[in-house]
Amino acid sequence: MALDFYYGSGSPFAWRVWLALEHKGIPYTFKLLSFDAGDHEKPAYTVVNPRHKVPAIVDGGFALYESAAIVEYLEEKKTGGARLFSADLRERATQRRLIREADSYFAPPMETMLEAVMEKKSPTEIAAAVHKMRAELVHWEAALDSDHLVGGLSAADFTLYPLVALIERIGQRNPVAMPADLLPPRVATWAARMRELPIVQKTLPPHWK
């Protein structure tokens, strides 16, 4: 039976889960929540995620939120076929580490920068946010020495890509505020490759299309 997947357009965390579902070929019913309509604050959803955030899934009555936990659940739910984590112990540990690093160290400055640009804060504030983002990107530039973050295409790529894609989108829409060279070369090349993947094309946030 298909599980319910609760999604909000533009959420990098929800996009990660969508990519994981598609990659593993797990059937799902797409439940698009509207942030503008406040769907994520309504009781029908807060019983699924009391933190009022997307993503979440409900699988046969079992509700789960927090994107990283959902991705691990999906991997263990369907063991055959495409994998989200490497079969190799050390690669798998590194993929998990990168996911935690993306959530702990990449997402916060990305969100601060997004807010500074979208809310048209002062040039000094935007420059400070961009500076912090640039400093974080240095770590990812160093981590990327092959086609994927670690081993083959994995949950680590599916975690980082939506965050990087958001940066690209903010940059395209605000070329004056955002430096064109913010993404370092290996990250930019990897992102361009990721963007060409059929599952990435299929799961582009609806309002971006």
Is residue 182 within 8 A of residue 47, CB to CB? The reply is no
Least separation in angstroms between residue 207's CB and ligand GSH is 13
Rounded to the nearest whole angstrom, what is the least distance from the CB of residue 5 to ligand GSH in the complex? Answer: 12
Q: Residue 67 or residue 203: which is nearer to ligand GSH going by CB?
A: 67
Radius of gyration of the chain (CA): 17
Q: Residue 47 or 196: which CB sits closer to ligand GSH? A: 47
Nearest-CA neighbor of 73 among 55, 47, 89, 90? 55
Can the peptide bond before residue 109 be classed as cis, meaning omega within 30 degrees of 0?
Answer: no
Cα–Cα distance between 144 and 187 in angstroms, integer?
A: 7
For ligand GSH, the binding residues (CB under 6 A) are 8, 11, 13, 40, 52-55, 66-68
Work out how close the CB of 67 gets to ligand GSH at its nearest, in angstroms, rounded to a whole number.
Answer: 4
In angstroms, the CA 106 to CA 188 distance is: 15
Nearer to ligand GSH, 68 or 204 (CB): 68
- If you ran DSSP here, which 8-state letter would residue 41 be given? G
Q: How far is the CB of 68 from ligand GSH (least distance, A)?
A: 6
User: Which residue, 53 or 148, is less far from ligand GSH as judged by CB?
Assistant: 53
Place of tokens 């933190």: 51
